[in-house]
Chains A and B, each alone.
Chain A
């Protein structure tokens, strides 16, 4: 399984929103770089997560 060691998509998006003064909803502001699970997991990833043990 290949797992990115230092993802920061969330960090750059939050920083961009803050920079332009756009207040994101609370659930988006609470995002982290940790692998998603449960209700936060998109449908198309559920099968692969079940196969590879929960990380993408």
Chain B
């Protein structure tokens, strides 16, 4: 009996938002007479940091300092429609809504400034809270003065609205083909897990997770990394511990209280090495795609792959509990591959929880995998 080291990798792709016009987000931006900016949007910040990111997007789009922008997402009576914080859509779709609104407000800022400076709007640019003539930096007006002029001279409220919306895809009746992407963006990630497996107790210890995420553009890298760290803990739980019904559909050994539900604590946190790759989305706000839900998907398969590297057997159902590891060792379960199918000849407990897994006519378990 011994402890064995192993390393495994998993790669994933993860879509952003819903499709078929399922999840619009809208926003409204207005300037106060002193140039400070109010943003009304409905995206709920449940800790992911969308208030901060949306504020950054508006500030950078308008060309004003971050602390000039007040983000109000607190009132469903006054906020425009947002279908919610789900599907990893907060930055891409909610962020696009505030970006579009800020772009329209920016156009009005430039137009008012054009009248004040008597310069064509196309020859103006905005930076650090000032509208400046291109090539003539001494010809300028502050956005505060532009907002004041709009209010007291031109009788205008500088404002803009924006709506991010994924339209219906036209479906060919004969072939089922569509001509637009089903999702707003797709993020990509790879996770390498390094584990130690005790072949006597079946216990798996994840020692390190190397996680590489392409998020398009990390508008706020600290928040992105925070989600990667949080996702690692969730993925660790899914990979090793969490099972509400360990013998589903039997309710035997179901936890009777929250305290009996196993999930990782900081004591279980492995060494984390996070890498952010920026491959900008052409449609995302400042190139952003998404992080969100994808952050807890790659760890379980990477852990199972690492277990195989360590002890030579596949644990085919998560979480990889000591019981399952020992059972796999006893059965020496070895899958074989047939195209996109990974087939397990043994009558093992692959449960058909989705269209990508189940049992074939001969009772063999299979999983569909991407090539």
Contacts and interface: CB of A to CB of B under 8 A. Distances in A.
Interface of A: 1-2, 4-9, 11-13, 15-17, 19-20, 22, 42-45
A13 B279 contact: no
A7 B188 contact: yes
B275 interface: yes
A1 B280 CA distance: 22
Contacts of B179: 1-2
Given A9-B11, A19-B275, A44-B339, A4 B214 contact: no
6 contacts: A2-B178, A6-B289, A8-B214, A12-B11, A15-B275, A22-B7
Interface of B: 7, 9, 11, 13, 177-182, 185-186, 188-192, 194, 210-214, 216, 273, 275, 277, 279-282, 289, 339-340, 371
Contact of A20 (B11, B192, B279): B192
Nearest to B302: A16
B157 to A, nearest CB: 37
A11 B214 contact: yes
A16 B299 CA distance: 13
Contact of B180 (A2, A8, A13, A15): A2
Given A4-B181, A7-B188, A13 B371 contact: no
A13 B282 contact: no
Nearest to A19: B210
Contacts of A11: 188, 214, 277, 279
A52 to B, nearest CB: 9
Contacts of A8: 188, 214, 277, 279
Contacts of B180: 2
Contacts of A5: 181, 281-282
A19 B213 CA distance: 13
Residue among A6, A13, A42 with most chain B CB within 10 A: A6
Contacts of B279: 6, 8, 11
Nearest 5 CB-CB pairs, A to B? A16-B190, A12-B190, A8-B214, A12-B212, A8-B279
A20 B190 CA distance: 12
Given A6-B280, A13-B190, 20 more contacts: A1-B179, A4-B186, A6-B186, A6-B216, A6-B282, A8-B214, A11-B277, A12-B188, A15-B212, A15-B275, A15-B277, A16-B9, A16-B190, A16-B210, A17-B192, A19-B212, A20-B192, A42-B339, A42-B371, A44-B339
